[in-house]
Amino acid sequence: MNAIIASTSTIHGSEYLAYLQPTLKEHFNNIKELIFIPFARPGGISHDVYTQKAQEGLAALNIKVKGIHEFKNYTEAITQAEAIFTGGGNTFVLLNQLYQHKLIAPLQDAILNRKIPYLGTSAGSNICGKNIKTTNDMPIVYPPSYDSLGILPFNINPHYLDPNPNSTHKGETRETRIKEFHAYNSTPVIGLREGSWLKATEKDIVLEGNLKARVFKQGEIPYEVAPNTSFKNLK
Amino acid sequence: MNAIIASTSTIHGSEYLAYLQPTLKEHFNNIKELIFIPFARPGGISHDVYTQKAQEGLAALNIKVKGIHEFKNYTEAITQAEAIFTGGGNTFVLLNQLYQHKLIAPLQDAILNRKIPYLGTSAGSNICGKNIKTTNDMPIVYPPSYDSLGILPFNINPHYLDPNPNSTHKGETRETRIKEFHAYNSTPVIGLREGSWLKATEKDIVLEGNLKARVFKQGEIPYEVAPNTSFKNLK
């Protein structure tokens, strides 16, 4: 495994993928062509428009980006990919499309066995957990299952947001939602703040970026961990 | 139909159900006993604790509250109920339980044919729409379908939250999420702010409370509507 699993593609006041450029330069070293999975369609944009955006975000690395939708055979696109990037958007739509096109097993094989460089942002990171039950997204389509790639032995919650002490809004906080998840599920959850990412390899799964992350385990009080923390043994 | 479909049970700085007391006094006029559906378990609390909370919230109206979980036969509890209140919490958990206990048809019958007074708050309101695809909740359990009671000819989005112009957070706004919903679904959505409710009868479906609501239709620019607006013809 050789994956960058990022909370977000974009941080405030900065361009698409800009904050990740030094990391991606190393991660995609020697990669000439990358397969982009645009299925999550943020804001409902088309696959072509989204792929163009990914191309622009990776232009400085001299990588040619091809959208998976440009291929006749989606499975072949994955099995022959040098590198894969799954963009953010709606996690339900993304996972539904992966099931519809029977891409779960090919993606697992590419990431876990062929060990090609993978990049996920937001929804593209959510699907790296055991299931999508800790997504923040609206369930606008009904996927055949919530089980996802499971290349991580836990779930992540991207765009993790701390409770706002000044809020008058009575909707659930993110922490309350994850607590509710743990009323029914034992899988640990990492709340990844915007600007954080996980670097997942065979040897280790490490928190990168400058921010702490928040770890939620069933029946335990959530706790903060610093950058460089290893999650290898988090189960 | 005789339903109060509220965005939230509780508004900022006020007790559980307090802001709805005058409305509920009229709505539940002459009701002696009410069946409470505690399945949504906010924060993972038990059915007993949640039912006790509902009892306290309705104490001033001299209504005896019984949790549906106290009955041997859940269907009978619904078919014989004088009035029903479904509390908020997690919409996926709630809907999943309704399917598991085969309560969808009995609830539709009680509300649409027997016309007993119904109260829904938050998740208990979400299920009154055509489906739960516009819930804000985390998909912590996988229900057999997203189709819900469909006693309204549209969906609602409870706890509707306007975009915060000062936010630096890059997660989707509520409006973006509903826009994504409309990339795949044609059902209109009413964004109900906290403090708003719908009064739904045979004759009309009317926005009540002091706040405007926001209406989202596929392919149209969202618009605001004032209290007392009728949604009878919103399809």
Closest Cα of chain A to B210: distance in Å? 16
Residue B131 has pLDDT above 90, yes or no: yes
pLDDT of residue B80: 98
Mark out chain B residues that contact chain A at CB-CB < 8 A.
8-13, 41-44, 89-90, 92-93, 132-142, 145-146, 159, 161, 168-172, 176-185, 194
Measured between CA atoms, how close is A167 to chain B, in angstroms?
A: 9
Q: What is the pLDDT of residues B50-83, one digit of tens each?
A: 999 999 999 999 999 999 999 999 999 999 999 9
pLDDT score, position B170: 75
In tens, the pLDDT along B15-25 reads: 999 999 999 99
Could you tell me if residue A68 is left (phi over 0), alpha (psi between -120 and 50 degrees) or otherwise beta?
Answer: alpha
Chain B partners within 8 Å of A181 (Cβ): 138, 140
Which one is catalytic: A7, A122, A125, A196? Answer: A122
Counted residue by residue, chain B has a size of 235
Predicted local distance difference test score (pLDDT) of residue A212: 97
The answer to whether residue B171 scores a pLDDT higher than 90 is no
Active site residue A122: yes
User: Most A CBs within 10 Å: which of B41, B95, B142, B181, as the mutation test of the A interface?
Assistant: B142
Q: Are A139 and A106 in contact (CB under 8 A)?
A: no
- How sure is the predictor about B169, in pLDDT bands with cuts at 50, 70 and 90? confident
Residues of chain A found within 8 Å of residue B180, distances taken between Cβ atoms: 41-44, 89-90, 93, 138, 140
Euclidean distance between CA atoms B23 and B6, whole angstroms: 11
Backbone φ and ψ for B107, nearest 5 degrees, come out as -65, -45
**Facing A181 at nearest CB: one of B9, B140, B176:** B140
- Reply yes or no on domain B2-225 having CATH 3.30.1490.100: no
Which pLDDT does position B134 carry in this prediction?
97
Examine the residue annotation and report whether A159 is marked as an active-site residue of this protein. Answer: yes
Residue A189 belongs to what H/E stretch? strand A189-191
Q: What pLDDT does residue B43 have?
A: 87
Residues 6+ apart with CB under 8 A from B120: B3, B4, B5, B6, B85, B86, B126, B127, B128
Quote the DSSP letter at residue A202. S
Q: Chain A residues with CB-CB distance to B under 8 A?
A: 8-13, 41-44, 89-90, 92-93, 132-142, 145-146, 159, 161, 168-172, 176-185, 194
Q: What are phi and psi of A7, to 5 degrees?
A: -60, -40
The residues of B that are catalytic are 122, 137, 159
* pLDDT given for residue A172 in this prediction: 80
A209 against B173, higher pLDDT:
A209
Cβ–Cβ below 8 Å for B140 and A161: no
**Hey, what are B14's tokens?**
């006020």
Least confident of A65-79, B96-110, B158-172, B204-218: B158-172
Amino acid A139: pLDDT: 97
pLDDT in the model for residue B59: 95
CA distances from B11 to A58, A184, B60, B119, B211 (A): 46, 28, 18, 16, 13
**pLDDT per residue as tens, chain A (235 positions):** 999 999 999 998 999 999 999 999 999 999 999 999 999 999 889 999 999 999 999 999 999 999 999 999 999 999 999 999 999 999 999 999 999 999 999 999 999 999 999 999 999 999 999 999 999 999 999 999 999 999 999 999 999 988 887 788 777 889 999 999 999 999 999 999 999 999 999 999 999 999 999 999 999 999 999 999 999 999 8
pLDDT of residue A105: 98
CB contact set of B112 (below 8 Å; sequence gap of 6+): B1, B151
Distance CA B146, CA A234 (A): 32
Nearest CA in chain A to B15: A170
